[in-house]
Each structure stands twice: as structure tokens, then as C-alpha cells.
Structure 1
């Protein structure tokens, strides 16, 4: 059975979690569509909306406190991000992740990120290294939630020189997002990898490209293996992962 063939989970939305996320996001938004996208995306990444779960537009709209139109637009955007998929007659569901897909994502990420690191170290300034170190400390201090994803994203954007290589960074960021929910869960329980960002910064500061790439490769392989273990556990619990 493939991920596309697996049936969505027969569970209802965690409306209390959605309403809590909506309450945090509601102040200050000028665009209802942007708010809907951010709330549903966060709910998926935090696990309030689980892989394989059917996304009922009317319930999402009611929980967020908006109409169905911006909810549908948000779901379409989340489909493009790889977090949601639409099925004929069944509507939208939170996209599931197969072990095969996870392995492929990490294989591509490894190729892209090792090259991005090599290119970035070639023009690394003292000022950018200082910014990278600050972001690494923030990432290692953040234990869980979407704040961890956001600070980690800023760290890698700076590390890989996203401003100088926007197309490469866009591809990397999209691949990272596909694993967001599982990496969140891994980060909460993966205390043994707590100082990985500081270790990577130290290797980069040494200007030894081979050493820095080795640290990065080990980090990616470690997280990949933890994600695969989570997928195996989820599959045993009938979470809807093929």
C-alpha cells in the first residue's frame, strides 16, 4: 500500500488545540488568508493535525473563526508545501510520509546541504560567523515547538548563505519543511543531539571544509535515522503512514 492509497485517519480535529493556536496568531494579522495558512501549518507541524488526518474545511473554519474560503486557499498552499494532499471524493488530508520518501529526502538534502556549506565557507566573514554562532546558541536552547523550527531555519539560512544563493536555499527549505512534524517530535526526545549546532559552528570556524562537512553529514544521518524510527513507531500505532 502506498501513502496515496492509505485511508485518512478516522479521527476528529483537536478543536481545542486549533483554537489555542488561532488565539495566538489572531492579533495583528491584516490578511485572513495568511492567518489561516500559518495556523493550519503550525497545527500540522506540532501534531495537532496528525499525518493521514482528514481536514474538514468547515471545522477548520469554525475553529479558527473565519469563513471556508481562506481555509481552502490555505490548504492549497499547504499542498504546494508538501504538508497536505487532496484525494478525489475524500478531500484534503494531512500528508503522510513513507520511510522511502524520508530516505530520498535526506539523500537529496545531504547532497544540497554539503555543497551549500562548501560554497558558504568560501566567502565566510567574521561578522556572519558571529551571527551563525548566536543563532546556533538559540537553536540549541530551544527545546520544542514551532519556535524551534523557526530559529533552526534562521540558523541554516545564515550558515548556507541564503541571500547569496536564494535558489539553492529555496530547495533546501522546501525539503526541510517536508520533515518538519517528525523533526519536531525527534527534537523533544533527542536530548543526546542537543549540542549539534555548536559542534557544527566550531567546525566551520576552523575553516576546515572537510571537517565541517563530516559534522553536517553525521548530523543529517542521525536525524534521518531518528525520523525513520518515529515513522516505524507511528506505523505500528496505525497513524496512517504507509
Structure 2
């Protein structure tokens, strides 16, 4: 597969000290994996990436090592870096961790939520229900969920949640596509939001846990089919 990224290498000289070339390369390889431009098991050729960005192989290796730590890439003998495959048991465990982290964040956030948060979340719900592009579904799904956790003011926890979601986003897109649309997700999102509006943190967290668990079950069922 020809390696193509949305950023032109010509942009790299203007980056200055932040972000670095390895930051840019890691971000765009990550996006290519998440969107499915790279298939599971597909090699990521360091020479091609370095040539594309007009850099040495050093920042490319740094970027790939970072993606290895995130669980998106693995290094195989005689093949180099390849897009990592995730087994069904691993997918189930990742969703379980996601449910634990996100329900905890929501519990912390609900008592601190404002009307502005509710309006933002409702807007994301409306856009999600009307959207037909699966890439935007995934983006709006993240925006809805993450806006409900922000009032907790736990940046480290948010970074963990974002990392877990990045690791399985390609599967979330599959799940949304194979489940036939956004109807069930939209209804469950609005139920979670209603519990948040009531200030019932326990109910909101339980609904969220069920929502994430059902998404996992739907994904695994469709993968087996």
C-alpha cells in the first residue's frame, strides 16, 4: 500500500520546537490506522515514511515506538513495524477498561456539570443523529462522551480515556457501520444525558456502563458473522 498522509512534508520546517517531526509523523500514522487506511498486519515501511516527510529514519522510529506503546503498532522479526491486530479477548478487555474509566469520570463530573455542558452534549446528540458519514459518527461519539467527563477536571484520567478510545476507534467505526446506523446509540446517549441533567451520578454511570458493554457485544457479534 502506498503511504499517504494529509500533511505535506513541506510543512515540517515551520514546526519549530513544538510539535516535533516525530509528533507529526506519529499523529498521522495513528490517524491512518484508526481510519482503516492501514490494514491489520500491514507493514509500515520506515524508508517510505522518511522519504515522504523528507526526514531521517530517527523521527520515524521514535514515532513508531510511541505507537507501539499505545498498542497500535508492533515490531515483528524480519518485517519491522506492522499495524497490530487485536484479538476478540483483547477487544473485550479494552472495552471493559473503557467502561471502568469512563463511568468513574462521569460520576466525578455529574455534580459539577453546568447548563452549558448539557447544551453542548445535546448538540452533539442532534448532529450524531443526523450524520450519515461513519467517520463523523466516530468523531461526534467521542465529542459527546468526552464533554460529559470534562467537568470532573481530571486531565490525566481524560488522557487515559482518550488513549483507550484511540486504540479501539477503528473497531468502534466497524461497530457503528455493522450495527446499521446511530439509532440505538442516539437513544442511549440521550438517556445518559437525561440522568446527568437530573444530577443522578449513579444512574448516569450505570447507563454508560451498559452502553459501552452493549457496544462491545454488538461489535464482537458482528465480527464473528
Give the TM-score band, short-chain normalised: 0.7 to 0.9
The residue number in structure 2 matching 1:239 is: none
Q: In proportion to residue count, which structure has more helix? A: 2
Contact 1:162-1:169 within 8 A present in 2 as well: no
Specify every segment of 5 or more residues in structure 2 that has no aligned partner in the other structure, as ranges: none
Task: Name the CA shift for 1:79/1:149 in 2 (closer, same or farther; >3 Å).
Answer: farther
- Does structure 1 retain, via aligned residues, the 8 Å contact 2:102–2:161? yes
Whether 2:75 is the aligned partner of 1:86: answer yes
Displacement after TM superposition at 1:165 (Å): 0.9
**Alignment deviations for residues 1-49 of structure 1 (CA, whole Å, 9 cap, x no partner):** xxxxxxxxxxxx2x2xx43xx2x33386635433322321121111121
Alignment correspondent of 1:240: none
Query: Which string of whole-angstrom CA distances, capped at 9 and with x for unpartnered residues, describes residues 110-138 of structure 1?
Result: 22221211111111112222222223333
CA separation of 1:60 and 1:117: change in aligned 2, threshold 3 A: same
Instruction: Specify whether residues 108 and 201 from structure 1 end up closer, same or farther in structure 2 by C-alpha distance, changes over 3 A only.
Output: same
Does the 8 Å CA contact 1:139/1:197 hold for their aligned counterparts?
A: no
Contact 2:109–2:150, Cα closer than 8 Å, also in 1: yes
- Counterpart check, 1:208 vs 2:200: yes
Q: Relative to structure 2, which stretch is displaced further, 217-226 or 201-210? A: 201-210
Work out which of the residue numbers 55, 77, 90 in structure 2 matches 1:101. 90
TM-score by length of 1: 0.76
The change in CA–CA distance for 1:230 and 1:86 in structure 2 (over 3 A counts) is farther
- RMSD over aligned CA atoms reads 2.5
Q: 1:91 to 1:228 in 2, by over 3 A?
A: same
On the 8 A contact 1:137/1:198 being kept in 2, the answer is no
SS in 1 for 2:75: strand
Counterpart selection for 2:115 from 108, 116, 126:
126
Give distance in 1, aligned partners of 2:149 and 2:47: 41
CA offset digits 1:157-179 (Å, max 9, x no partner): 22012661112222222211111
Q: What is residue 41 of structure 1 aligned with on the other side?
A: 30
Runs (5+) with no aligned partner, structure 1: 1-12, 234-242
- SS state at 2:150 partner: coil
Q: CA 1:65–1:80 in 2, change beyond 3 Å: closer, same or farther? A: same
Match of 2:54 among 50, 66, 78: 66
3-state DSSP of counterpart to 1:85: strand
2:44 is the counterpart of 1:55: yes
Asked if 2 retains the 8 angstrom alpha-carbon contact of 1:44 and 1:50, the reply is yes
Q: Which residue of 2 aligns with 1:188?
A: 177
The number of residues matched between the two structures is 213
After TM superposition, the score normalised by the length of structure 2 is 0.81
